[in-house]
């Protein structure tokens, strides 16, 4: 249903061992207050900065090293750190190894014996509120977990128009274990020319989509959404497409996503030069995204035939590549292919829009 939307640095155990071996060749600062000891007896001094799934992220010499928790034998923090355990307990404590695991020693003198796998999150001992677990329910907390990407650049359009113009894209997304909401807007410009090739007017070409999914199980979700399009080059004064259905989340991880959905809905066309055209549709869509280091790849497809005539169809196919270039600055290359049969204007069935932009993201 959606044409556009908003890395795990993981590797085999051998990669982690290699990083540890390299780090061990560099002398550790004598003032280091946190130290890891591995099952083979090797030690690494630095700072525990995060817990991600079954890995600890340890900062050494300014570099973050991701280490499997299963390979950690002992951990020492001589100064208090903030810790959230897997049972949601949040404490400020020093940590030292003992025979049966790790001993947490709180300021009030109480102690608790834990294992490395019991760590769920770490942070500052002076701000334990940030470590408190967030209770997630349907669309709550609503103002958390949003990601925003706004980008500006150029566009190349082929099909019912042959132009190079400006483009602007805005993507907003929010995803939890309970629900997912995605908003996307693409704005380009198009020119109306006279017979001599002179510009008569410049009009915006706009495609906006909004969709939300509610997870009924870990894999199965219900989906509802809409898409709105203003496209003078296609004789579309205003096209509205609405649909609802069911989907399957085939893969869902920090680095990879794959999903597919089917449903029914309606497409409503207000044409610039012709009569209004409304019809019920069958909709199907799929999306694959993959993060590799600083790069993210996404492919999406939406196929919406009319239930009254399967030859009356709209197909949207999109490809995106985004690369983080500096902190929150991102380069984005996108390709949107749109097929309309019959075309609203009676001209070209195929439209191609390529954008190349620089964007700012909240991540």
| CATH label of the domain that carries residue 275 | 2.40.160.40
- For residues 193 and 116, membership in a common domain is answered with no
d(CA 271, CA 286): 28
- For residues 216 and 349, membership in a common domain is answered with yes
**Is 165 a domain residue?**
yes
**Is 14 a domain residue?**
no
pLDDT at 242 (0 to 100):
97
Q: Which of 68, 101, 131 is the last residue of a domain?
A: 131
**pTM for this model (two decimals):** 0.73
Q: What is the pLDDT along the chain (363 residues), one digit of tens a residue?
A: 444 443 333 344 444 444 444 444 444 443 447 999 998 889 999 999 999 888 999 998 888 888 999 999 999 999 999 999 999 999 999 999 999 999 999 999 999 999 999 999 999 999 999 999 888 999 999 998 999 999 999 999 888 777 888 999 999 999 999 999 999 999 998 766 556 666 656 788 899 999 999 999 999 999 999 999 998 877 888 999 999 999 999 999 889 999 999 999 999 999 888 788 899 999 999 999 999 988 999 999 999 999 999 999 999 999 999 999 988 899 999 999 999 998 876 678 999 999 999 999 987
Which residues are within 8 A (CB) of 362 and not within 5 positions of it... i.e. 6 or more apart? Answer: 146, 147, 148, 149, 328
How many CB atoms within 10 Å of residue 351? Answer: 21
d(CA 250, CA 78): 44
pLDDT at 312 (0 to 100):
93
Domain containing 54 equals 32-131
- For residues 166 and 97, membership in a common domain is answered with no
Q: Which of 107, 131, 155 is the last residue of a domain?
A: 131
- For residues 168 and 102, membership in a common domain is answered with no
**Is 17 a domain residue?**
no
Which residues are within 8 A (CB) of 274 and not within 5 positions of it... i.e. 6 or more apart? Answer: 235, 344
d(CA 304, CA 269): 14
d(CA 292, CA 296): 6
| Residue 327 tokens, joined | 């902190």
Q: Is 265 exposed, middle or buried (0-12, 13-18, 19+ CB in 10 A)?
A: buried
pLDDT at 230 (0 to 100):
92
**Is 94 a domain residue?**
yes
**Is 139 a domain residue?**
no
Beta strands in 61-115 (DSSP E): 63-68, 72-85, 90-98, 101-106, 111-114
The count of structural domains within the chain is 2
pLDDT at 57 (0 to 100):
92
pLDDT at 198 (0 to 100):
67
Which residue is listed with tokens 């404590």? 93
pLDDT at 301 (0 to 100):
97
**Is 25 a domain residue?**
no
- For residues 196 and 292, membership in a common domain is answered with yes
pLDDT at 7 (0 to 100):
34
- For residues 117 and 182, membership in a common domain is answered with no
- For residues 86 and 178, membership in a common domain is answered with no
**Is 1 a domain residue?**
no
d(CA 19, CA 38): 13
- For residues 162 and 127, membership in a common domain is answered with no
- For residues 86 and 210, membership in a common domain is answered with no
**Is 77 a domain residue?**
yes
Q: Compute, in degrees rounded to 10, the torsion defined by CA atoms 93, 99, 101, 104.
A: -10
- For residues 113 and 255, membership in a common domain is answered with no
- For residues 344 and 252, membership in a common domain is answered with yes
pLDDT at 272 (0 to 100):
83
- For residues 115 and 194, membership in a common domain is answered with no
Q: Output DSSP code: residue 116.
A: G
């Amino acid at each position: 249903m959606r044409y556009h939307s908003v890395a795990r640095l993981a590797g085999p155990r051998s990669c982690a061992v290699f990083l540890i071996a390299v780090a061990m060749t560099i002398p550790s600062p004598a003032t280091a207050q946190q130290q890891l000891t591995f099952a083979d007896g090797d030690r690494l001094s630095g700072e525990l900065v995060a817990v991600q799934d079954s890995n600890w992220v340890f900062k050494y010499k300014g570099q973050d090293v991701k280490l499997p928790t299963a390979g950690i034998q002992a951990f020492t923090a001589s100064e208090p750190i903030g810790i959230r355990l897997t049972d949601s307990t949040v404490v400020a404590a020093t940590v030292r190894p003992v025979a049966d695991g790790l001993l947490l020693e709180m300021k009030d003198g109480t102690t608790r014996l834990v294992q490395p796998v019991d760590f769920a999150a770490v942070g500052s001992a002076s701000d334990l509120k940030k470590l408190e677990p967030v209770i997630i329910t349907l669309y709550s907390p609503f103002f958390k977990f949003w990601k925003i990407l706004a980008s500006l650049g150029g566009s190349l359009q082929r099909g019912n128009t042959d132009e190079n113009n400006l483009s602007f894209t805005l993507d907003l997304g929010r995803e939890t274990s309970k629900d997912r909401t995605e908003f996307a807007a693409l704005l380009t410009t198009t020119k109306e020319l006279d017979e001599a090739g002179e510009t008569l007017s410049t009009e915006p070409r706009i495609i906006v989509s909004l969709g939300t999914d509610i997870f009924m199980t870990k894999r199965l979700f219900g989906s509802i959404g809409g898409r709105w399009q203003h496209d003078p080059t296609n004789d579309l004064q205003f096209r509205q497409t609405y649909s609802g259905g069911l989907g399957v989340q085939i893969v869902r991880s920090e680095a990879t996503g794959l999903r597919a959905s089917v449903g029914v809905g309606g497409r409503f066309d207000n044409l610039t030069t012709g009569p209004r055209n409304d019809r019920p549709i069958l909709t199907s869509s799929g999306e694959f995204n993959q993060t590799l280091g600083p790069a993210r790849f996404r492919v999406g497809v939406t196929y919406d035939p009319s239930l009254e005539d399967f030859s009356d169809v709209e197909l949207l196919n999109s490809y995106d590549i985004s690369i983080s270039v500096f902190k929150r600055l991102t380069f984005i290359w996108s390709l949107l292919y749109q097929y309309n049969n019959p075309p609203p204007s009676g001209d070209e069935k195929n439209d191609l829009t390529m954008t190349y932009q620089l964007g700012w993201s909240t991540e």
